């Protein structure tokens, strides 16, 4: 389908695009020339922090029968899982830390706590999504082939259900992503050999099994054993209390206390519930951050024609227009794997994530000079916009949301909000009537 809205890409001359390409290349080369100890210390400390959080969380969950231990343990485990998936797993598998030549922190050897195998993920995400970002019919992450997220996508009655399965997807995001990696389209078209499909399904089932055994069987079992052991130990060590002795003398029965087996079952269940909750929290968080990457109102999608014979500069412009940042504190950016800098990440997927915040001002300066937008917004506004689009596009029709004008340095936040609300160029105002 031809585009309903012309992107700023069409306005730039070939010469401008080449020049812009050189400017973006220069930032990349400069950063890579100065990578060193500081960067290594960061990723190593993140990896250590993840492991400490896991140990602390798992230890607390040994006492998961107690409410405070359950809450603290679940919180720590959720934080650990988020850190492991976002700032560590996603970024390491992008090859952001390969320059360290470290045999362990390397895209060729890393595996993560997710239902996707590293191999399938690197293909569908690093290669397909990062190469064909927001090109309709080529970027399979545009709606993940089950959602209508862009008005150019043809409507089908199944999309009436998307508000429902959107929520299911959020809770079980990693399973959705793993299934998506299998690429049903390629299977249907026969582009994937049976052998390859068999290997991929086997890999996914292995990953799934390992996570289920770990979170829903092994650790609950350890909790059950720990609580029975503690109970048995206490019972052996405890002398009957004065009251009990008095009760015995009065031939009154003491209050029945739970048996060891009951305690074990209770511990097993509460740890299982904690692990399940942590996985869901991680999934919902990952879903929220990732959906804010390319589906907010500000982003453009592209027809395959628009990207034919694309130059390096054209690639950069498409990434700028197709991605959106999320404003946030440094802590927010760590928790989101620095995907709040989605724009910078898409310009330089293999750049260590710590550097995104540092280069952001230079990216903005380029946007300003070439009169290009720099898409960003507060988390809840971005997420709200995405949810509105999902609801609206469940129904037929719809038009692109109004797009922001060129980035301007002054005014910063307020100016930013105004930009999003009020299209500034005549070219985009035609679509201001909105979805």
Partner 1 sequence: MAERGARPRVPALQRRALGAVRALFTPLLPDDYLELINPLWSTQELRGRIERVQPETDDAVTVFIKPGWEWPGHEPGQYLRIGFVVDGVHHWRAYSLTSDPGRPDGLISITPKLVEEGVVTPWLVRQAQPGTIVRLSDVEGTFTLPDPLPDRLLFLSAGSGVTPIMSMLRDLDRRDALGDVVHLHSARTPGDVIFGEQLRAMARRRPGFRLHEQMTGADGRIGPDRLDDLCPDWREREAFLSGPAEMLDAMTEHWEREAHGDRLHLERFQPIIGQGDGELGEGGTIRFTASDVEATSDGTQPILVAGEEAGATLPYGCRMGICHTCVGTLCAGKIRDLRTGEVSGSVGEIVRTCVNAPEGPIEIAL
Q: Which residue from 218, 230, 247, 432 is in contact with partner 1, where contact means CB under 8 A?
A: 218
C-beta of 266 vs 350, nearer to partner 1: 350
- Of residues 19 through 38, those in contact with partner 1 by CB under 8 A are 35-38
CA 216, 219, 221, 224 torsion-angle sign = negative
User: What is the nearest approach in angstroms of partner 1 to the Cβ of residue 133?
Assistant: 17
Q: Indicate whether 328 belongs to the interface with partner 1 (CB under 8 A).
A: no
Q: Which residue from 121, 159, 172, 219 is in contact with partner 1, where contact means CB under 8 A?
A: 219
C-beta of 6 vs 210, nearer to partner 1: 210
Q: Give the binding-site size for partner 1 (rule: CB under 8 A).
A: 35
283: alpha, beta or left, given left = phi > 0 and alpha = psi -120 to 50?
alpha
Burial class (CB in 10 A: 0-12, 13-18, 19+), 71: middle
Gap between the Cα atoms of 277 and 77, Å rounded: 9
Task: Give the range of 63-71, 203-211, 266-274, 372-380 binding partner 1 by CB under 8 A.
Answer: 203-211
Map tokens 């201001």 to a residue. 432
239: alpha, beta or left, given left = phi > 0 and alpha = psi -120 to 50?
beta
DSSP letter at 411 equals T
Q: Indicate whether 316 belongs to the interface with partner 1 (CB under 8 A).
A: no
Cβ-defined contacts of 153-157 (< 8 Å, 24+): 153/393, 154/1, 155/393, 155/395, 155/396, 155/397
Write the DSSP string, 176-218. Answer: HHHHHHT-HHHHHTT-S-HHHHHHHHHHHHHHHHHHHHIIIII
C-beta of 11 vs 202, nearer to partner 1: 202
Q: Indicate whether 55 belongs to the interface with partner 1 (CB under 8 A).
A: yes
User: What is the nearest approach in angstroms of partner 1 to the Cβ of residue 39?
Assistant: 6
The pattern of x and - marking residues 105 through 134 that bind partner 1 according to CB under 8 A reads -x-xx-xxx---------------------
User: What is the nearest approach in angstroms of partner 1 to the Cβ of residue 431?
Assistant: 36
User: What is the nearest approach in angstroms of partner 1 to the Cβ of residue 307?
Assistant: 17
Cβ-defined contacts of 382-386 (< 8 Å, 24+): 382/292, 382/296, 382/324, 382/326, 383/288, 383/291, 383/292, 385/296, 385/297, 386/149, 386/291, 386/292, 386/295, 386/296
Q: Which residue from 11, 26, 45, 104 is in contact with partner 1, where contact means CB under 8 A?
A: 104
Burial class (CB in 10 A: 0-12, 13-18, 19+), 380: exposed
Task: Give the range of 45-53, 158-166, 233-241, 251-259 binding partner 1 by CB under 8 A.
Answer: 45-53
Q: Which residue from 198, 202, 214, 312 is in contact with partner 1, where contact means CB under 8 A?
A: 214
Gap between the Cα atoms of 229 and 217, Å rounded: 18
C-beta of 109 vs 193, nearer to partner 1: 109
User: What is the nearest approach in angstroms of partner 1 to the Cβ of residue 101?
Assistant: 4
User: What is the nearest approach in angstroms of partner 1 to the Cβ of residue 77?
Assistant: 13
Q: Indicate whether 98 belongs to the interface with partner 1 (CB under 8 A).
A: yes
Q: Indicate whether 257 belongs to the interface with partner 1 (CB under 8 A).
A: no
Task: Give the range of 100-108, 188-196, 361-369, 409-417 binding partner 1 by CB under 8 A.
Answer: 100-108
CA-nearest of 346, 276, 327 to 81 is 276
Judged by the rule CB under 8 A, the positions of this chain that interact with partner 1 are: 35-41, 48, 51-52, 54-55, 95, 98-104, 106, 108-109, 111-113, 207, 210-211, 213-214, 218-219, 222, 350
């Amino acid at each position: 389908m031809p585009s309903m809205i012309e992107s700023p890409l069409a306005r730039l001359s070939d010469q401008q695009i080449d020049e812009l390409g050189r400017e973006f290349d220069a930032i990349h080369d400069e950063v890579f020339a100065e990578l060193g100890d500081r960067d290594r210390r960061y990723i190593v400390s993140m990896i250590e922090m993840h492991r400490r959080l896991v140990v602390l969380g798992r230890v607390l969950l040994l006492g998961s029968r107690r409410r405070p231990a359950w809450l603290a343990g679940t919180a720590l485990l959720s934080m650990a899982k988020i850190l492991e998936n976002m700032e560590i797993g996603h970024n390491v598998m992008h090859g952001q830390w390969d320059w360290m030549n470290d045999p362990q922190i390397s895209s060729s050897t890393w595996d993560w706590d997710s239902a996707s195998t590293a191999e399938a993920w690197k293909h569908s995400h690093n290669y397909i999504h990062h190469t064909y970002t927001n090109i309709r019919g080529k970027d399979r992450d545009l709606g993940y082939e089950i959602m209508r997220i862009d008005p150019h996508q043809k409507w089908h009655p199944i999309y009436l259900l998307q508000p429902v399965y959107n929520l299911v997807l959020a809770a079980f995001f990693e399973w959705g992503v793993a299934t998506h990696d299998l690429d049903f389209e390629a299977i249907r078209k026969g582009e994937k050999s049976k052998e390859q499909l068999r290997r991929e399904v086997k890999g996914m089932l292995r990953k799934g099994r390992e996570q289920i055994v770990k979170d829903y069987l092994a650790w609950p079992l350890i909790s059950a054993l720990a609580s029975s052991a503690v109970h048995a130990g206490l019972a052996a060590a405890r002398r009957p209390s004065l009251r009990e002795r008095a009760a015995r003398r009065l031939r009154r029965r003491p209050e029945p206390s739970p048996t060891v087996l009951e305690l074990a079952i209770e511990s097993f269940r509460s740890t299982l519930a904690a692990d399940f909750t942590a996985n869901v929290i991680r999934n919902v968080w990952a879903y929220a951050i990732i959906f804010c990457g390319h589906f907010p109102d500000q982003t453009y999608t592209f027809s395959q024609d628009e990207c034919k014979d694309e130059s390096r500069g054209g690639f950069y412009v498409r990434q700028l227009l197709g991605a959106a940042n999320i404003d946030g504190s440094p802590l927010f950016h760590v928790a989101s794997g620095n995907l709040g800098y989605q724009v910078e990440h898409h310009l330089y997927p293999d750049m260590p994530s710590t550097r995104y915040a540092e280069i952001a001002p230079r990216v903005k300066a380029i946007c300003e000079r070439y009169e290009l937008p720099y898409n960003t917004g507060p988390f809840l506004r971005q997420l709200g916009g995405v949810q509105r689009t999902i609801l609206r596009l469940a129904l037929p029709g719809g038009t692109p949301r109004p797009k922001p004008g060129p980035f301007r340095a002054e005014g910063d936040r307020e100016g930013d909000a105004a930009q999003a609300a009020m299209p500034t160029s005549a070219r985009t105002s035609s679509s201001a009537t909105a979805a």
